[in-house]
Chain A
Amino acid sequence: MTDLTSLTLAEAREGLADKSFTSLELTDAHLGAIEAARVLNAFVMETPDQARAMAREADAKIAKGDAGPLAGIPLGIKDLFATKGVRTTACSNILGNFVPTYESTVTSQLWRDGAVMLGKLNNDEFAMGSSNETSCFGPVGNPWRRDGSNATLVPGGSSGGSASAVAALLCMGATATDTGGSIRQPAAFTATVGIKPTYGRCSRWGVVAFASSLDQAGPIARSVRDAAMLLRSMAGHDPKDTTSVDIPVPDYEAAIGKSVKGMKIGIPREYRLDGMPAEIEKLWSEGAAWLKAAGAELVEVSLPHTKYALPAYYIVAPAEASSNLARYDGVRYGLREQGKNIIEMYENARAEGFGAEVKRRVMIGTYVLSAGYYDAYYLRAQKVRTLIKKDFEDCFAKGVDAILTPATPSAAFGIGEKGGADPVEMYLNDIFTVTVNMAGLPGIAVPAGKDGQGLPLGLQLIGRPFDEETLFSLGEVIEQAAGRFTPARWW
């Protein structure tokens, strides 16, 4: 039954519909794969009993002929999504054994459509990281390794568990979240497809908050079509999130295979960095050539404030994080430490419960919001953010349908290799993805090739607000041209 795990979600849907196999068989195959891949540390909690119960329910519905669009499909859930009755920690010691008494909107919509939960996936603590090394459960291994090397590489972050599990065939798709690149960068590092939809497309309700004006949920999957199927279920208006947008969710799958003839694709000159590896440059030109061959028109565009996106992000995101994470005080939930008075109790719980990266960001956020510094840092960063968004608006106003860029400045790197001395070294990973969050736009990362060491590389497409469909159409063209990539199994 092992080969059931190598199906795409779309293929599994067909197999379930024509009764080639049951959801229980499909689910068991994945539970077996998860058990055999514990060395990757992708799952922080396995829920086999719940998975089998949900699979049986899906099988009954399929038999009765009232199956939802994801009926019987086994998925992994990032540990940032609240799951009722199932421990949810954001991979932080401060949430310890938090067991939600409610379900996040995004996951409840997946269960509504018949999906099966295999368990909870590892991520950087509170989604703060680009390598999944800040998790309190330890780092995640990337199923990809360099040719001829046994060194374990990072899967990217913060959705490292999601990307690793999807790439290693442990689940058919996974939920993820993206605040500065946390869906697209790990997707690029693992040869998976990840889409961060437009801000407001998916409800943030029940998702542990990091930086509320930037956070968006989205799927990581093994093909562009699979990502389209998952996003359709995850997206939609939710009255419980005031930033959730009340517009209809299109059938994203219908965009797959749609002609891209005549589409205008922007190639932003500011993304051509000094010292960018020649392989990334080559991949980018190849991607452009594929889109051109499919009938799209390439135009050079300028996004002049690109270089300021990352520094502005490192003011806005920590500021919002310092405010969001103020709730972890050891009173209503989470870790409690003793102190001489209530202030000391808070200080000790937060010192003990937060990891180094989270403390650093909460402190920077506290500083830039503090009296006397607010205007110089936070207000200025929010003005720069307006300029970054205007760059994109100007570009789209000239008729550009989407923008093509590399997804990351490099392929996956080794565990412990980056950010040890200077946190900024790690932050630079998000240089191509963070602009998209700052402007609230949709962005998709699609596998496009490999580097000289056999590691996957991805391309990113950035779309107009709420035009995820164009990204799926263009992403499919890249996938058709580049093919799909599966790591050789070593675990």
Chain B
Amino acid sequence: MSVDAATVRRIAHLARIAVSEDEVPHLQGELNAMLAFVEQLSEVNVDGVEPMTSVTPMQMKKRQDVVNDGEIADDIVANAPATEGHFFLVPKVVE
């Protein structure tokens, strides 16, 4: 399988990465090189094989459903590029 220019633009948008028109051919070439490389997996017989979901066989750990953290709003917003009080500021999303 290989990707065309339109697919590259679609993937970039899904990945939320702005891509300029002159970057598309280069990216297309690189992505197709990677896809050509992984193509060899199609020769493996995977009939009846379970897909791996956990590399170490283990039960998912659970903890008590209680508050064990919090009251650190200053820490949470400390690295934000734009804040007001304890809120993150973003461009208007509702017209």
**Do A and B come together as binding partners?**
yes
Size range of the interface on B?
35 or more
Contact assessment for A366 and B41 in the assembled complex, using a CB-CB cutoff below 8 Å: no
Instruction: From the candidates B34, B39, B40, B76, name the one contacting A364 in the complex (CB within 8 A).
Output: B34
CA distance A242 to B60 in the complex (A): 7
Instruction: Collect the chain A residues with CB atoms within 8 Å of residue B88's CB.
Output: 331-332
Is residue A383 within 8 Å, beta carbon to beta carbon, of the partner chain?
Answer: yes
Residues on A with C-beta less than 8 A from B85 are none
> Which residues of A lie under 8 Å from residue B81 when comparing CB positions?
330-331, 333-336
Look across to chain A and name the residue whose beta carbon is closest to the beta carbon of B69.
A240
Interface residues of B in 33-82 (CB under 8 A from A): 33-35, 37-42, 44, 46, 49-56, 58, 60-61, 63, 72, 75-82
Q: Once the chains bind, are A331 and B52 in contact (CB under 8 Å)?
A: no
Once the chains bind, are B44 and A305 in contact (CB under 8 Å)?
yes
* Secondary structure of the A contact surface, majority rule: helix
A interface residue count range (under 10 / 10 to 19 / 20 to 34 / 35 or more): 35 or more
The B interface, classified by DSSP as helix, strand, loop or mixed, is: loop
A229 within 8 A of partner (CB)? no
Interface with B: A28-36, A158-166, A307-315, A469-477, which one? Answer: A307-315
Q: Which residues of B contact A347 (CB under 8 A)?
A: 13, 16-18
Q: Which residues of A contact B82 (CB under 8 A)?
A: 336
A166 to B46 alpha-carbon distance, docked (Å): 43
- Whether the pair B55, A439 counts as a contact (CB closer than 8 A) is yes
A333 cross-chain contacts in B, Cβ below 8 A: 79-81
* Distance in angstroms between the alpha carbons of A292 and B85 in the assembled complex: 67
B-chain residues with CB within 8 Å of residue A351 when the two chains form the complex: 17-19
> Is A200 positioned at the interface, with any CB of B under 8 Å from its CB?
yes
Which of A330, A334, A341, A385 has a CB less than 8 Å from the CB of B52? A385
Is B40 within 8 A of A311, CB to CB? yes
Q: Mark B1-32 against chain A: 1 for CB-CB distance below 8 A, else 0.
A: 10100011001111111110000000100110
| In the bound complex, CA of A326 to CA of B54 (Å) | 22
Contact present for B31 and A315 (CB under 8 Å):
no
Q: CB of A329 within 8 A of chain B?
A: yes
Q: In the assembled complex, which residues on chain B have CB atoms less than 8 Å from the CB atom of A99?
A: 78-79
Nearest CB to that of B15 among chain A residues? A366
A101-B72, A347-B18 as given contacts; A311 in contact with B37, CB under 8 Å:
yes
Contacts of B60 in A (CB 8 A): 242
Q: B38 near A341 (CB under 8 angstroms)?
A: no
- When C-beta atoms are compared, the residue in chain B nearest to A244 turns out to be B61
Measured CB to CB, the closest approach of chain A to B6, in angstroms, equals 13
**B90 close to A245 (CB less than 8 A):** no
CA distance A392 to B81 in the complex (A): 47
A376 CB to nearest chain B CB (Å): 7
Q: Which A residues lie within 8 Å of B13 (CB)? A: 347
Residues of chain B lying within 8 A (CB to CB) of residue A422: 33
Q: List, sorted by A's number, 5 A–B pairs whose CB atoms are closer than 8 Å.
A: A97-B79, A101-B75, A243-B58, A380-B44, A384-B44
Which 10 residue pairs are nearest across A and B when measured between Cβ atoms? A440-B55, A382-B51, A336-B81, A333-B79, A351-B18, A101-B75, A347-B18, A383-B46, A366-B15, A311-B38
